[in-house]
Amino acid sequence: MYLSFYITDIKNKLVFQYLLGATAPSFKHLWTRILSTCPQLLEDSSSDTYLDHAMVGRDLEVYKYFSITNKLNYWCLTSTAKSKGPLDCFTFLETIDYILLEYFDKDKLSIKKLVNNYDRISLIFNCCIEAGEPNVSDMLYVNKIKEAVPERSDLSKLISSTAHNLQQAVQLPQQRQQQLQQNQFSRGSSLHVENEEIVPWRTSRASKHENNELYLDLLETFHVVFEKKKSHIRLVNGNIHGTLDVRSYLNDTPLVLVKLNTMGNDIGIPSLHECVEINDGGVFSPSNITFIPPDGKFRLLEYCVDLDSQVIKSGVRMKSIGLVSLHFQNGLGKDSDEFELSLNIENLKNVSQVDDLKLDLQFNVENSDSNEVAYKIKILRNTHGRFENSIIMGQGQWIFDKSTATGTVPVLHGCIEYETGRSNDQKNVDLQTVSLEYSYVGQSASGIYVEAIDILSGLTIGKNTKLYKGAKYKTQTGDYQVRL
Amino acid sequence: MVDSINRIASALDTAKVITREAAAVATSKLGESSYTYYSQNINPQQLATLLNSRNSREVRDAMKRIISIMASDDDSIDVQLYFADVVKNITTNDIKVKRLIHLYLLRFAENDPNLTLLSINSLQKSLSDSNPELRCFALSALSDMKMTSLAPIILHTVKKLVTDPSAMVRGEVALAIIKLYRAGKNEYHEELLDILKELMADTDPKVISCTVLAFKECYADHLELLHGHFRRYCKVIRQLDSWSQSYLIELLIKYCKQFLPKPTVVDRSSEDSPRSCPLPDNYNEIEYPLYDVVNHPDLDLFLQSLNRLIYSSNPAVILASCNALYQLASPLQMKNTKFIEALVKTVSTTTNQGNKEILLQAVHFLSTLDQTLSLPYIKKFYILPKDSIVASVWKIQILSTLINESNVKEIFKELKYYVASAHLPEKVVILAVKSLSQCGQLSTSWESHVMKWLIDHMESHNLSASVLDAYVNVIRMLVQKNPTKHLRIIFKLADLLTAQRSLADNARAGIVWLFGEIASIEFKICPDVLRKLIPMFSDEGPETRCQILVLSAKLLSYDIDNFKQEQIAASDESSDEKNYQNHYDFSSSRISKMYEAVLYLAKYDDEFDIRDRARMISSLFDSGKYEIVSLLLQAPKPSARNNDFIISARLEVHAQEVKDFFKMLPWNTEITGIAETDNDVRKGVELKDYNKYKKSFSSQSFISNNSARSFTSNSNSNLRGVNDSNGSSVSGKGNINTVTSHNGKKYRLQSLDEFFSDIPERKSKSKKIIRVEEESSDDNEDESEESSDEDESDDDEYSDSSSLGTSSSHLEL
């Protein structure tokens, strides 16, 4: 049973609290309790004594979830119960974080947003938690919450929509008339379905949109580790984590079909939004995803392409992924203490630039005391960006500008300068790993793309309302490491 | 004309741009932030005035302020002072203010029960509102007040609302049961159970979701209540809320263990003699290489119903399903379902660190029982550069459980990389070293390979003390297992002791200890090692000094024993010279001299522990009871297991909740026999369907109902679809009373008899006809209740015709 919820910023300063009773402690009280019983909860997640849940009293547990997108900590205090599954609390906190994002239709929640909407967020929490448990009567769907806690109608929205209407009324008076009639007609007939729930995640009272819009966002994050063996590069392990987010602003109750072309990738067992229909055999096919979308933003599916098994199956040696491939040469120059890194940024029709390209260079630091600087890295030539030596021994970063055009071949040429007076056999410093970071828009890493978005039925399109639909692709690196 | 219109249009266009700009300016002034600013400036006196205002907008502002104060943990204003002012506003028509007051009461009702009573009347009035949302709100608000004096009222309300036509309200009733139950009055438990029973028979998935929660929270021990619903719940599980799905799976696991017979495993490897045995109590203990499992059909039904949940986005559902397969099915069945793949996928995609840790522990748990489960996904457990420490640690642990002959080369390489990489956290490196020993345990050649690599690495790298300790521990462990085979490594260690002066104290101590143990097998080299150690005694660290002392004592003890054995051998040969030289000659033995030297040094050591030991050992030898000495010092040490050195319990031991979760429940041995057709306890019971209260069933919603959750087995024809999604899919064998009907009647509460008589309607054109049909169908219904076989077909007919009727009538509208 949940007793209270708290949201704090990264430094654990309280932003919001929701207490489910007079006995639930306020964050100040909880804080002193945590400090005395289990300060490990407050540690940084990179420390090895870090905890994300702990007992703070008899039968009382605190759970903590850090939302990466919002940079917020979510806490909850629960009573210990045998029937509680081990994942319940973390998952619930994650769900709430997600609901808040969807409710406000944002990509990131700012603290200011939370502070400005205390009343609304309190009400959302109230919707999500009933009897100290997750409210299972379909209230965890954002559409339902929006119905119970109406959004603020902005003045700007009001004015702009009035202006828009005004303009349309003038430009196309007759059509408008027709549409009005149509509207009246359709409203007349839809009276009967009011109050009646069609699907639990979509309310029949979904707000009326001016235009019908349906957008898909395919985001792929890949995690790969490559290994350089002699001259060729080999995949050690890797996977692509893809999410397909939908923003749907459609009137009525449409049935949507999305066809995903996987380009021969095996997307394994994706996790789907409840709205996705699964055929009789219980098998999901990405080329035929039918669903009645909830209104607003939601995550349609999340998949994982297993590159390891794919490499084994196809027998093709995977050399690189995404747009950027890395070439490396060690032991150059007359003292063979120079190295050269070159990137090859592929030229693609859909992608004009690569954003936030950054390389982390890691040198091995063996046989040297940490306080004795025996060598330093000197850059002789770089075509793009700048090189920064890190404070930590043996690390450096090659940082590019905000965007780099595709089709270029940036090169970094550097050497390792040893302290004078060192014998040759001590010169054994070389590059150990290179990590890459970048993102680009316009293409997915695996090549998966949306073939078609069709609205099968259920949408009445008047002459004056238009249907907009589209798909966007983005690829970013999660982990990209090359071991040398 | 056209021209002028165009002109006007363009003028309006610019006007639009201007208004947009104005709007932008206006929002900056009237936006959320400025409202917050205004709100924060409301002082306590104003707050009271605003709360008592007649203007609903002002009341709303005041309530928002109060909620903000509560949410921000602001001490400057004590919101409890306004209790009466807040509560009396419950009569407002503004639903938002009502909800805000609910929040206030939820928090403070207990503190001031008397004033809280002010709100009861108004809330009770809302209970009979025509709007289901208001009824729902009122019930939730009433039951949230944790006041014992209110319990009878709430109980009464709950009883009244359990037959509410709105599923939302009935769901809320289930949640109110939890609240009442927790209020702690035992006297209500029986009554609440009756209400719960009624709710369990509901057909609406939303109500079932809530009921499952209430059941799990309050009456989880009354598993027998699930008898009549078992089959139906298995079929509707996909329609439930994902949280309820995970709860229900856990409940049904318990149910199956309790009321279903144990599955039988039939051997398929040998064709001539079909053997069979019941499913073993522990997982993965089936001895046949190939087998079939014969389940009770109901168990099959449950396991099959899980298949549809594999795409769930809630990790709790995936984990619960894995648990169900672990508890109820054989390893082969588990592999066939692909749930492990889903589990592994969830591990690698989740960004929730807490979940990730627990999921990894679960994978580790399962792979310790059955390696083959996670073997295909082995590369998913290679550490990624951005993994947290906890995740890395569990990944390495999983890897070490998966090592076998075919993959050891690759895993060894990977582990070697972790050990050698400088940027990984120390704990991870230590664990990787530890896992290397797992590689070594495969075969003798791997043993020496691992040790050789470790020693090479130890020599060439500057390692921290704790990492070195792990190295030596692993080497010690591997050597101890099979010392004679690793003499070369032992020699190398001896070299290391003398050559590598910079080696950390604990590592040296470990190696010195090892020589003490090897002395029993390979005595020859040990005195030499000791000899080389003595000159540097004072330079060694405390642990090493202590171990040198122990080594010298051990060597002496061995030497004395050897001497004695020689004596006995000698005396056997020449019995006449019996008492020739019975005593070990301390003065002439070199080992004894070395021992004396070490003892002398140790007696003046800084460390009291070493001085203590020196005294103890010397007194033992002085007393001359060498048997005791050899017992003490030569006791064979058990070879260390991997679990013996745990670096951090938090990182390496399964969390208690994971252990609890995967605790194998015992099968109920009293239930036997697969076929029990005559006395079927799981026969479906009568259901309560409230769909008929709906005003109409439009063709539009019918399409979506059919398509949205196609959990039915056959939806070939659209017409059947209606029936499927509402009726036959819901109950397998039970009476199916689910037919959607169109009657414009206003809702009123009905008795059960009325309720059953009301359902089948063939036509719905006019009221009169309906009544006729009702009468005629009365008989039908009675008959169908007697024979359940006819029942299904009958119902199909009804629903076909009635849905035809509804759709046609809708068209007419």
Give the one of A155, A272, A277 whose C-beta lies nearest to B27's C-beta. A155
Angle between helices B189-200 and B167-182 (to 10 degrees): 150
Instruction: Output the pLDDT for position A97.
Output: 92
Q: Residue A442: left if φ>0, alpha if ψ -120 to 50, beta else—which one?
A: left
- Average model confidence (pLDDT) across chain B: 76
- The whole-angstrom distance between B154's CA and the closest CA on chain A is 14
Q: What is the average per-residue pLDDT within B593-599?
A: 87
Upper half-sphere CA count for residue A422 (Cβ side, 13 Å): 15
Q: How many CB pairs under 8 A join A and B?
A: 361
Return the pLDDT at B648: 59
Contact B175 A131 (CB under 8 A): yes
* In-domain check, residue B42: no
Asked if residue B806 and residue B703 are part of one domain, the reply reads yes
CA distance A393 to A370: 7
* pLDDT, tens only, A263-291: 888 888 889 888 888 876 777 888 888 88
pLDDT at A18 over 50: yes
The yes or no reply on domain A2-148 and CATH 3.30.450.60 is yes
Partners of A272 on chain B (C-beta within 8 Å) are: 311-313
Q: Which residue has the tokens 């792990």?
A: B470
**B788 and B751 in a common domain:** yes
- Tokens encoding A212: 């019908």
Whether residue A251 contacts residue A483, with contact meaning beta carbons closer than 8 Å, is answered with no
Asked whether residue B232 falls in the same domain as residue B262, the answer is yes
Q: At what angle do helices A88-104 and A118-128 cross, to 10 degrees?
A: 130
Tell me which residue of B219, B212, B222 sits closest to B249, measured CA to CA.
B212
Helix ranges restricted to H, A63-130: 88-104, 111-116, 118-128
Q: Which of A301-310, B164-173, B289-298, B582-591 has the lowest mean pLDDT?
A: B582-591
Judge whether residue B658 has pLDDT over 90.
no
Query: Residue B379: closest CA among chain A residues belongs to which residue?
Result: A237
Amino acid residing at B492: K
- B372 pLDDT band, cuts 50/70/90, is confident
What pairs with residue B294 in β-bridges? B264
DSSP-based three-state secondary structure for B582 = coil
Tell me the C-alpha distance between A463 and A458, whole Å: 16
Query: Please, are residues B244 and B209 in contact by the beta-carbon 8 Å criterion?
Result: yes
Residues from chain B contacting residue A277 (CB–CB below 8 Å): 707-710
Return the SS3 of B171. Answer: helix
What lies within 8 Å, CB to CB, of B190 at 6+ separation is none
> Which of B361, B379, B718 best tests the A interface by mutation, with the highest count of A CBs <10 A?
B379
Query: What's the confidence (pLDDT) of residue B245?
Result: 92
Residue B336 is encoded by which pair of tokens? 């066939």
In a domain, B571, yes or no: no
Question: Which of the residues B60, B355, B396, B463 would you substitute to probe the A interface, choosing the one with the greatest number of A C-beta atoms within 10 Å?
Answer: B355
B385: which DSSP letter?
T
Asked whether residue B728 falls in the same domain as residue B705, the answer is: yes
When pLDDT is cut at 50, 70 and 90, the band that residue B522 belongs to is: confident
Same-domain pairing of B699 and B808 = yes
Instruction: Tell which of B684, B702, B721 closes a domain.
Output: B684
Q: By residue range, what is the domain housing residue B707?
A: 691-812
In a domain, B488, yes or no: no
Helix then strand then coil, in percent of chain A rounded to 5, is: 20, 40, 40
A233: pLDDT strictly greater than 50: yes
Q: What average pLDDT does this structure show over A286-301?
A: 88
The answer to whether the CB of B686 falls within 8 A of the CB of B201 is: yes
Rounded Cα gap, residues B179 and B163, in angstroms: 19
With residue A225 as reference, give the H or E element that holds it: strand A212-229
Do B801 and B711 belong to one domain? yes
B120-173 per-position pLDDT tens digit = 888 888 888 888 888 888 998 888 887 788 888 888 888 888 888 888 889 899
**Sign of the C-alpha dihedral, residues B176, B178, B184, B190?**
positive
Answer with the one of B684, B702, B732 that is the final residue of a domain: B684
How buried is residue A111: exposed, middle or buried, by Cβ count under 10 Å (0-12/13-18/19+)? middle
Per-residue pLDDT, averaged over A430-442, amounts to 87
Q: What region, left, alpha or beta, does residue B663 occupy, with left being phi > 0 and alpha being psi -120 to 50 degrees?
A: beta
Q: How many CA atoms are closer than 13 Å to the CA of B328, on its beta-carbon side?
A: 29
Give the phi and the psi of residue A381 in degrees, each rounded to 5.
-155, 130
| Neighboring chain B residues of A5 at a CB cutoff of 8 Å | none
Crossing angle of helices B426-440 and B408-420, rounded to 10°: 150
Q: How far is CA A377 from CA A360, B424, B635, B732, in A?
A: 13, 22, 56, 74
Q: Residue B562 has which token pair?
A: 């050897």
Query: Which one of 3.30.420.40, 3.90.800.10, 2.30.110.10, 2.60.40.1170 gives the CATH number of domain A213-319+444-483?
Result: 2.60.40.1170
Same-domain status, B756 and B807:
yes
- Residue B126: which of B144, B138, B143 has the closest Cα? B138
Please determine, for residue B209, whether its predicted confidence score (pLDDT) is greater than 60. yes
CA atoms of A167 and B8, how far apart (whole Å) = 9
Mean pLDDT, residues B639-658: 66
Kindly report the CATH number that applies to the domain delimited by A324-441: 2.60.40.1170
Best-predicted range by mean pLDDT among A418-432, B298-312, B555-569, B764-778?
B298-312
Nearest-CA distance from A304 to chain B in Å? 7
pLDDT band with cut points at 50, 70 and 90 for residue A74: very high
Can you point out the beta strands (E) in A316-430? 324-332, 338-345, 353-363, 375-382, 386-389, 395-399, 403-405, 411-418
Token output for B199: 């709710």
The ipTM estimated for the assembled molecules is: 0.88
Q: Taking the domains of chain A in order of start, what are their residue ranges?
A: 2-148, 156-196, 213-319+444-483, 324-441
Q: Tokens 């707000």 appear where?
A: A207
Task: Check A27 against B73: CB less than 8 A apart.
Answer: yes
pLDDT of B61 above 90: no
State whether A253 and B700 contact (CB < 8 Å). yes
Neighbours of B374 (CB within 10 A): 22
Q: Evaluate whether residue B110 is within a structural domain.
A: no
